[in-house]
């Protein structure tokens, strides 16, 4: 997929298309996303402070929930991690709560991080729009500002007041272009952000699902599937060893949802709500729980082969919770032994598990 930005006779869209060509850090992407957000509100004069607060909010979910790497020594990533460790905010915290905190905080370290974020990206973002950028303009912010403000065709000029109180002033032609094409330009920016994050996090699956908080999880069909299995009797909770009942049933992501960002059937297992709450975003100890997981999944697979109702519920699950035909063929083809089924499941699940562990997810053992 390649998103093309709309052409314009009023602004230099060919240079805009090169906005993210040279980036070793995430700052340009988040700074421009912040500008687009403010443009959507109709603002053309925007303080650095407001844009940097928006950058932190936009990075909040992907860093605090998934621990995504934004770049080597990335100050934006450091800022999010600092706040998440210091304050009791959820990864899905409402943006107005985060913004209120950022605007009212007197934390010295946080202010230092925000000032650091204001040092370069406000000036360097527009490098592709500069007709003849010379090396000399990169030495001092005052020189860069003077140069930017003297050029025609720039997206914005800069009013230097000092650190976070400085502001950008978007030129009328660019303001008009961005407002008219806001949805497309935002989609193009998110596309570039996904490409950047994939490069920085090569072992992390589902990057595109980790930019914004989820709207819902598709577990209704899976819950019905496991309720039926439990109703047939003999299903044990892999964490507690207890025989399960439908009362208090919860569907657990063996490798946490906060890492995989998907609801694939082979990573889902029934447990009690209290156990799922205790497990939270941790990884079940592989050596203790994988064989139990495989046996429970295998027993359900066998029942599907011999029970018409179970087969019907499985097919319903497969439409929402089994999105790879290759995995379906490998894992759910007829007449497999437990040993073969467990081997296939291990080949599918273990690389995901190890990748999550390498990203810092902790191993967990249930304790009564």
340-353 residue pLDDT tens: 999 999 999 998 89
Q: Are 279 and 366 in contact (CB under 8 A)?
A: yes
The three-state secondary structure class of 157 is strand
Q: Convert the pLDDT of each residue in 73-93 to its tens digit.
A: 899 999 999 999 999 999 989
- DSSP β-bridge partners for residue 157: 169
In whole angstroms, what is the distance from residue 306 CA to residue 44 CA?
A: 65
In whole angstroms, what is the distance from residue 353 CA to residue 260 CA?
A: 9
Would residue 278 be called left, alpha or beta, if left means φ above 0 and alpha means ψ between -120 and 50 degrees?
alpha
User: Going edge to edge, which strands form the sheet with 167-170?
Assistant: 45-47, 167-170, 156-159
* Closest to 181 (Cα-Cα) out of 362, 7, 1: 7
In whole angstroms, what is the distance from residue 273 CA to residue 239 CA?
A: 12
In whole angstroms, what is the distance from residue 41 CA to residue 145 CA?
A: 25
Measured from the Cβ of residue 114, the count of other Cβ atoms closer than 10 Å reads 23
pLDDT bucket at 132, cuts 50 / 70 / 90: low
Q: Convert the pLDDT of each residue in 43-81 to its tens digit.
A: 999 999 999 999 999 999 999 999 999 988 899 999 999
More confident residue, 306 or 135: 306
* Closest to 133 (Cα-Cα) out of 13, 10, 22: 22
According to the model, what pLDDT value does residue 1 have?
A: 47
In whole angstroms, what is the distance from residue 286 CA to residue 161 CA?
A: 56
Would residue 336 be called left, alpha or beta, if left means φ above 0 and alpha means ψ between -120 and 50 degrees?
beta
Would residue 315 be called left, alpha or beta, if left means φ above 0 and alpha means ψ between -120 and 50 degrees?
alpha
What is the percent of the chain with per-residue pLDDT over 90, rounded to a whole number? 61
Which of the residue ranges 112-116, 233-237, 326-330 would you say has the lowest mean pLDDT? 326-330
> Nearest 5 degrees, angle CA 152-CA 155-CA 156?
90
User: Does residue 185 register a pLDDT over 50?
Assistant: yes
According to the model, what pLDDT value does residue 312 have?
A: 96
The average confidence (pLDDT) of the chain is: 90
- DSSP β-bridge partners for residue 252: 269
What is the percent of the chain with per-residue pLDDT over 70, rounded to a whole number? 96
Handedness of CA 60, 80, 76, 104 (dihedral sign): positive
For helices 325-332 and 338-358, the axis angle rounded to 10 degrees is 130
Tallying the residues shown for the chain, one arrives at 368
According to the model, what pLDDT value does residue 213 have?
A: 80
Tell the burial category of 321 from Cβ atoms under 10 Å away from its Cβ (0-12, 13-18, 19+). buried
């Amino acid at each position: 997929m390649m998103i093309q930005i709309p052409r314009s006779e009023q602004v230099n869209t060919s240079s805009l298309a090169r906005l993210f060509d040279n980036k070793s850090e995430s700052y340009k992407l988040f700074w421009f996303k912040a500008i687009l957000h403010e443009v959507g509100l109709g603002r053309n004069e925007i303080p650095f402070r407001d844009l940097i607060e928006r950058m932190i909010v936009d990075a909040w979910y992907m860093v605090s929930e998934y621990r995504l790497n934004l770049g080597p020594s990335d100050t934006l990533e450091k800022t999010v991690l600092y706040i998440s460790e210091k304050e009791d905010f959820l990864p899905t915290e409402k943006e107005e709560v985060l913004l209120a905190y950022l605007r009212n905080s007197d934390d010295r370290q946080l202010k230092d991080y925000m000032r650091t974020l204001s040092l370069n990206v406000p000036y360097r973002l527009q490098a592709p729009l500069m007709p003849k950028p010379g090396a000399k303009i990169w030495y001092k912010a005052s020189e860069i500002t003077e140069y930017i403000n003297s050029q025609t065709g720039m997206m914005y000029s800069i009013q230097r007041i000092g650190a976070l109180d400085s502001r950008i002033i978007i030129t009328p032609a660019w303001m008009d272009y961005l407002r008219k094409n806001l949805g497309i330009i935002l989609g193009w920016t998110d596309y570039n952000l996904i490409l950047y994050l994939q490069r920085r996090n090569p072992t992390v699956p589902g990057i595109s699902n980790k930019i914004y908080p989820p709207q819902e999880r598709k577990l209704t069909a899976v819950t019905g599937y496991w309720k039926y299995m439990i109703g047939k009797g003999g299903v044990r909770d892999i964490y507690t060893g207890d025989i399960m009942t439908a009362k208090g049933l919860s569907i657990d992501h063996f490798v946490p949802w906060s890492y995989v960002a998907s609801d694939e059937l082979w990573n889902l297992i029934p447990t009690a709500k209290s156990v799922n709450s205790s497990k939270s975003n941790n990884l079940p100890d592989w050596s203790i729980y994988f064989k139990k997981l495989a046996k429970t999944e295998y027993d359900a697979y066998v029942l599907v082969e011999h029970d018409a109702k179970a087969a019907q519920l499985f097919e319903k699950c497969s439409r929402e919770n089994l999105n790879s035909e290759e995995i379906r063929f490998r894992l759910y083809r007829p007449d497999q032994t437990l040993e073969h089924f467990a081997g296939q499941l291990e080949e599918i699940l273990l690389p995901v598990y190890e990748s999550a562990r390498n990203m810092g997810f902790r191993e967990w053992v249930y304790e009564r």
